[in-house]
Amino acid sequence: MRRFPFLSSFLFLLCALLLSLAVGSVFIPLKEIFATLQGNGTNLTENILWNIRLPRTVLIALTGMALGGSGAAYQGLFRNPLADPFLIGIASGAGLGAVLAMTVQWPYSFWGLMAIPLAAFVSALFTVAIVYFLARVGQTTPITNLILAGVAVSSFATALMSFLMLRSDGELRRAMSWLMGGSIQLGWSFALAILPYLLIGLGVLVFSGHALNLLQFGDEQAQQLGLDTTRAKRIILIAASLATASAVAFSGIIGFVGLVVPHLSRLWFGPDYRRLLPLSILSGATILLVSDVIARVVLAPQELPVGIVTALAGAPFFLWVLRRSKTQGLW
């Protein structure tokens, strides 16, 4: 598997996609899935697959790609193994922007849906600037400061979101499930609306692997090797924030995917960001799809928000990474 990282990642993703299409309140065998995709399925199967399972699977996969890719980019940008859209408060900041945008009665159209991730993107950029400013000490950004600043900003943003939802009508109160990763049965409009943001954000990140490799040597040495560090950092930060904001805007706050996926990809395939970024994108989709399947079946016929599943699995992994970073002198 390690000799063919992209092939193995695609195979795992394909298995996760088929599993997501098959599992639910009504199990659909693989034979019927392929028949339905070819236009030879029953009316019931076609309705379930095309109107419910497939748009949900596409949205969950795109969200996982955004979180996995942005998590790897943040870790490389900050040279910090604990940098993650959720842990350093960027996801909560993007969620606050999305909730603020929800208070406006946008028309239910493609362009109306585009306004929410745009607000989330602006809020995410503002949040990362605040966290980075609070955590920075001279020319360094200690892990302790980054986590503490992220926790503080995340708590403040979460409190504001809760206040807005308590003061609002029923539409925003239902956003509580959305904020926990309850992006269920939203249809094709949301899956299509997220695409422009992801194509731009992840497209830029995929071609930023060489710059991230150079940044691991430090700003001074990276400049000596010919990299415009200020410009590279700005581009990577904007692209990662755009990907994070789009994921949060359409799927809610889903924690720990951006932390777990890059670490697993790095342990399995190595630290070269030219490979790590695309592999984290593919692995992020796979892990989130599997988490979504678990969320469907663990309390069937009820469904858990997928954010609960990722938090239950990711929190112990975070503690392991924290201990590992401490023993290696990164803390």
Number of domains in the chain: 1
What is the model's pTM? 0.86
Q: Which two tokens stand for residue 26?
A: 């009504």
Instruction: Write the pLDDT tens digit of every residue in 176-208.
Output: 666 666 555 467 877 888 888 899 999 999 999
Residue type present at position 102: M
- Domain boundaries, position 131: 5-327
Cβ neighbours of residue 39 closer than 8 Å, sequence gap 6 or more: none
Instruction: Write the pLDDT tens digit of every residue in 18-63.
Output: 999 999 888 999 999 999 888 888 888 998 998 889 999 999 999 9
Partner residues linked to 137 by β-bridges: 140
DSSP string, 316-327: HHHHHHHHHHHH
Please tell me the predicted confidence (pLDDT) of residue 331: 45
Name the DSSP class of 80: -
How far is the CA of 198 from the CAs of 8, 171, 245, 281, in angstroms? 23, 26, 10, 11
Partner residues linked to 140 by β-bridges: 137
Q: Are the beta carbons of 59 and 183 closer than 8 angstroms?
A: yes
Q: What is the CATH number of the domain that holds 110?
A: 1.10.3470.10
226 Ramachandran zone, left/alpha/beta (phi>0; psi -120 to 50): left
